[in-house]
């Protein structure tokens, strides 16, 4: 039986829903300002548009990538009226590759954008400004990246192997065989890599490829099924030609084809060498990493009778240089394998005043056996999530000075609130230009107990 019409119409709560802007649609826009991630912002028909590859004041034709409610993400495809500061991106694929999203911006403007982002987060979230701003720590604009992960995907329909980097706002792979941000030795390897991998008899077994330049060059190939014998031979010949180590990873951890292979990186000012394995965390920018450690040591100023705590210590990037100055360094990391390798790094560098421990760094630490004696100074270098649970109880560890190295200004600002509550003052802060040509911001802050 048909339902009887009442003559009434109902709308969902909140009124009618505006139709979504379709993906792929082109739109002419005028950009009013820049977002903190370097995208241009435009407003049209009640929606906010975030446009990659666009600068403040420009008029562009943009293509829609996706839509979330009243937020539209798009990519600039044609600049109709350019900002006078715009420069030609050195990479021809910079507009679609997800790696370098601000190559069209002069380097000085990139630094200003990052500085503004850090200052805004500290002001908006923590309501604070440091007593002094440090000058940005910088290195080369290009040719700086000593580690890279190359995306590889086999397409069964076309029977083709895609090799390159992930596209902006997509899982698509941008075919690139020339990357100007890699250090020169890796550029030479990377240029020949796509053709090499596509020549494989069984390319469908490839996962990804990691490149590294340190005390030696290394090529690590992840495979989801055994490599064909002929393909492995081709890989070995390729690596021999480039004087690079070959590492393979199946179901277990990466292993070198030559069991005697040694791989690592140096911290030259301290004459230290740290062992490294593909997949380990390492700062990709050697020049800025060195400057960052030097600044951290200067700000923390550990005395030769002081006990120092290094949290999220990794392979010992900060802990080992700290051990050359302090009486004792306690270094803590959440991953067992990293703790073992860091301890081995201390032994190989003949540093006997540093101890490495594993701990859950999402929990308070004051009751740990190694923490009961307290510390005069603390350095922490957490991941993007920050270190909220640690900093909210950090005063119990007794430190007068805290250096916080951050890869996310938002969580740094959030954690700053907790440090301020415990009586610490923000004395200095500054950006670290670890990733030129991107809007990614790394920062360092010094807190002192009042």
List active site positions: 407
Q: Give the strand pairing for 173-175 and 160-166.
A: antiparallel
Rounded Cα–Cα distance for residues 213 and 183 (Å):
8
Q: Do the Cβ atoms of 331 and 355 come closer than 8 Å?
A: yes
Rounded Cα–Cα distance for residues 161 and 332 (Å):
41
Taking alpha carbons only, the member of 440, 381, 393, 409 closest to residue 124 is 409
The 3-class secondary structure across the chain, one letter per residue, is CCCCCCCCCCCCCCCCCCCCCCCCCEEEEECCEECCCCCEEEEECCEEEEEECCCCCCEEEEEEEEEECCEEEEEEEEEEECCCCCCCCCCCCCCCECCCCCCCCCHHHHHHHHHHHHHHHHHHHHCCCCCEECCCECCCCCCCECEEEEEEEEECCCCEEEEEEEECCCCCEEECCCCCCECHHHHHHHHHHHHHHHCCCCHHHEEEEEEEECCCEEEEEEECCCCCHHHHHHHHHHHHHCCEEEEEECCCCCEECCCCCCCEEEEHHHCEEEECCCCCCCCCEHHHHHHHHHHHHHHHCCCCCCEEEEECCCCCCCHHHHHCCCCEEEEEECCHHHHHHHHHHHHHCCCCCEEEEECCCCCCCCCCHHHCCCCCEEEECCCCCCCHHHHCCHHHHCCCEEEEEECCHHHHHHHHHHHHHCCEEEEEEEEECCCCCCCCCEEEEEEEEC
Taking alpha carbons only, the member of 397, 389, 326 closest to residue 368 is 397
Rounded Cα–Cα distance for residues 402 and 378 (Å):
5
């Amino acid at each position: 039986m048909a339902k009887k019409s009442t003559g009434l119409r109902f709308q969902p709560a909140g009124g009618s829903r505006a139709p979504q802007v379709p993906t792929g649609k082109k739109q002419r826009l005028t950009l009013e300002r820049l977002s903190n991630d370097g995208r241009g912002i435009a407003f049209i028909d009640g929606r906010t548009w975030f446009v990659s590859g666009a600068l403040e004041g420009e008029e562009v034709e943009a293509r829609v990538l996706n839509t979330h409610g009243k937020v539209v993400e798009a990519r600039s495809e044609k600049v109709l009226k350019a900002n006078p500061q715009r420069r030609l991106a050195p990479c021809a694929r910079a507009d679609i590759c997800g790696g370098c999203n601000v190559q069209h911006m002069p380097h000085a403007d990139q630094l200003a954008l990052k500085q503004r982002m850090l200052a805004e987060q500290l002001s908006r979230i923590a309501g604070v400004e440091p007593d002094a701003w440090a000058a940005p720590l910088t290195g080369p604009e290009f040719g700086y990246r000593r580690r890279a992960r190359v995306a590889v995907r086999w397409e069964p329909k076309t029977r083709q192997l895609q090799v390159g980097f992930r596209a902006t706002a997509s899982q698509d792979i941008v075919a690139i065989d020339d990357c100007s941000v890699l250090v020169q030795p890796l550029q030479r390897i990377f240029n020949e890599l796509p053709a090499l991998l596509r020549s494989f008899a069984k390319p469908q077994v490839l996962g990804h490829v990691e490149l590294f330049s340190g005390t030696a060059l290394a090529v690590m190939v992840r495979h989801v099924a055994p490599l064909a014998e002929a393909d492995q031979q081709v890989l070995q010949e390729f690596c021999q030609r480039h004087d690079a180590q070959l590492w393979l990873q199946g179901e277990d951890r990466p292993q070198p084809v030559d069991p005697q292979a040694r791989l690592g990186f140096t911290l030259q000012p301290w004459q230290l060498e740290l062992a490294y394995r593909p997949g380990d965390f390492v700062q990709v920018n050697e020049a800025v990493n060195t400057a960052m450690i030097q600044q951290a040591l200067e700000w923390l100023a550990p005395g030769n009778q002081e006990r120092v705590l290094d949290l999220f210590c990794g392979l010992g990037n900060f802990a080992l240089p700290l051990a050359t100055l302090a009486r004792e360094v306690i270094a803590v990391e959440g991953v067992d394998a990293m703790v073992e390798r860091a301890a081995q790094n201390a032994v190989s560098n003949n540093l006997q005043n540093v101890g490495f421990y594993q701990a859950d760094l999402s929990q308070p630490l004051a009751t740990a056996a190694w923490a009961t004696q307290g510390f005069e100074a603390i350095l922490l270098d957490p991941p993007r999530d920050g270190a909220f649970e640690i900093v909210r109880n950090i005063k119990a560890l007794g430190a007068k000075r805290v250096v916080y190295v951050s890869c996310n200004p938002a969580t740094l600002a959030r954690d700053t609130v907790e440090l301020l509550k415990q009586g610490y003052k923000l004395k200095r802060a500054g950006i670290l230009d670890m990733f030129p040509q991107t809007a990614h911001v790394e920062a360092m802050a010094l807190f002192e107990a009042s």
